[in-house]
Structure formats: structure tokens, C-alpha cells
Amino acid sequence: EDQVTQSPEALRLQEGESSSLNCSYTVSGLRGLFWYRQDPGKGPEFLFTLYSAGEEKEKERLKATLTKKESFLHITAPKPEDSATYLCAVQAGHSGYALNFGKGTSLLVTP
Amino acid sequence: DAGITQSPRHKVTETGTPVTLRCHQTENHRYMYWYRQDPGHGLRLIHYSYGVKDTDKGEVSDGYSVSRSKTEDFLLTLESATSSQTSVYFCAISSVDSNQPQHFGDGTRLSIL
């Protein structure tokens, strides 16, 4: 059975304090690993897709990396507007089109 | 932003009543999905569609049915709502290749009393 585990559940950072969020997964036949950001009362907003171990993607203060067992979302010098819940999801070859989501990491960045 | 509209955005209803949620897209994407999001759980797939009149079940499909008579509309129906179906429901779409990212609507908050 596919499993996606995100840690920590919640993270509080000072503005400018860099950190990383973790997404560990077990899946047979990974087709893609997706990162989303979700603000309160909104739907998930797509950030990155990673397809193979060693791949990295960057966007502003965010950088996502992928190994065979986990993905990291690195946040460099975060700002209060980076506060949100960050969701990780995997898509496996055997499940067709479904995304299997982790429970998310709630990030709060204080001034 | 992907052109996805969910309606209604909020609904309160009683146990045993039928409920239909609508997802409308303007992107002409082939794939459409319904998820539910509950505290302590990740987003969970209810049903998905890979074309007009082509649908399949997801992880938590019991008690739900779907229909897609037009590319742009995907309906989720609770035939007889139960309190366990109180949740936030999200519609998502993705383009031709199924491992393209899914883009989400802003959700429908459904409360069943």
C-alpha cells in the first residue's frame, strides 16, 4: 500500500530562518511527486513536480529535491507570506491517475 | 489561475437529503477529480473522470456517485447524505497526460446535520 508521511506536522519559523520540510514515501512505480501550497479556505496551489531521484526544482525561496525514499522542500529566508500548509502527494504507476496525499505541514513564519 | 468553479461554496443540509456539488472548468481538460479533505487526513480521492461519461472510483467512493455529461462539468452526488460526509470537497482538473499536475478549485464546505 502506498504511503506518504510528512514531517513535521507543524513548524514555526522566524522570518529569515531557513528550514526544510520532509515528505517520505513508499510507493511501487513512482510516476511523480508533487508539492502543493494551501492557504486557509483555498484549494491547493501547485508548486512543483519531481519525476526521478536527484531531480531538483526551484521557485523563489522554495527548492524541492527528490531521493528514492523522500523529498525535501527547502525554504530559504522565509517571509510571513510563506505561511501556509504544504502538501506532498505521489502518483504511482499502478494507480492510474490518483494522487496520494500526505497530511501536510503547517508552516507559520513570524516577523 | 486554472479556470475551475465549484458551486455551491458552502452548504448546510440535513441527514438523508440528496446533495449535488458541481465543478465547472473552462480549460477543456480531459481529467477531472473529486477529493474530500478532513482534519487528520490528507486529501482523499472520491471519484475521477477521464472523459465524457468515463468515470471510475477512488479510495473513498462509498455513498457517492458522479456524472460527466459535458467536458466542462463534473457533478458529485450524495444520494442520502450522512453526518460522516461532512467535509470540504475539492474538484481538480488535469490535462491530457495524466501525470501532469492537478489544479484545484477553492472547495465546497458541506455540513450535514
Contact between chains at A32 and B98 (C-beta distance less than 8 A): no
Q: What is the pLDDT along chain A (111 residues), one digit of tens a residue?
A: 789 999 999 999 999 999 999 999 998 888 899 999 999 999 999 999 999 999 999 999 999 999 999 999 999 999 999 999 999 999 876 555 778 999 999 999 999
- Residues from A contacting B (CB-CB < 8 Å) are 4, 31-32, 34, 36, 41-46, 49, 87, 89, 91, 96-104
Contact between chains at A101 and B58 (C-beta distance less than 8 A): no
What is A3-110's CATH topology? Answer: Immunoglobulin-like (2.60.40)
DSSP string, B1-61: ---EEEE-SEEEE-TT--EEEEEEESS--SEEEEEEE-TTS--EEEEEEEETTEEEE-TT-
Give the residue carrying C-alpha cell 529535491: A65
Rounded to an integer, what distance in angstroms lies between the CA atom of residue A33 and that of residue A13? 25
Contact between chains at A32 and B42 (C-beta distance less than 8 A): no
- Sign, CA dihedral A20-A24-A29-A31, equals negative
Calculate the alpha carbon distances from A49 to A15, A34, A72, B44 in Å. 26, 5, 12, 19
What's the gap in Å between the CA of B101 and the closest CA on chain A?
A: 7
DSSP 8-state secondary structure symbol assigned to residue A97 = T
Structure confidence by residue, pLDDT tens digits, A95-111: 557 789 999 999 999 99
What is B4-112's CATH topology? Answer: Immunoglobulin-like (2.60.40)
Contact between chains at B42 and A42 (C-beta distance less than 8 A): no
pLDDT of residue A97: 72
Query: Cell numbers of B98, please?
Result: 495524466
> For residue B21, how many other CB atoms are within 10 A of its CB?
21
Contact between chains at A98 and B50 (C-beta distance less than 8 A): no
pLDDT means over runs of 10, chain B (113 residues): 90 97 95 93 91 91 96 97 97 79 95 96
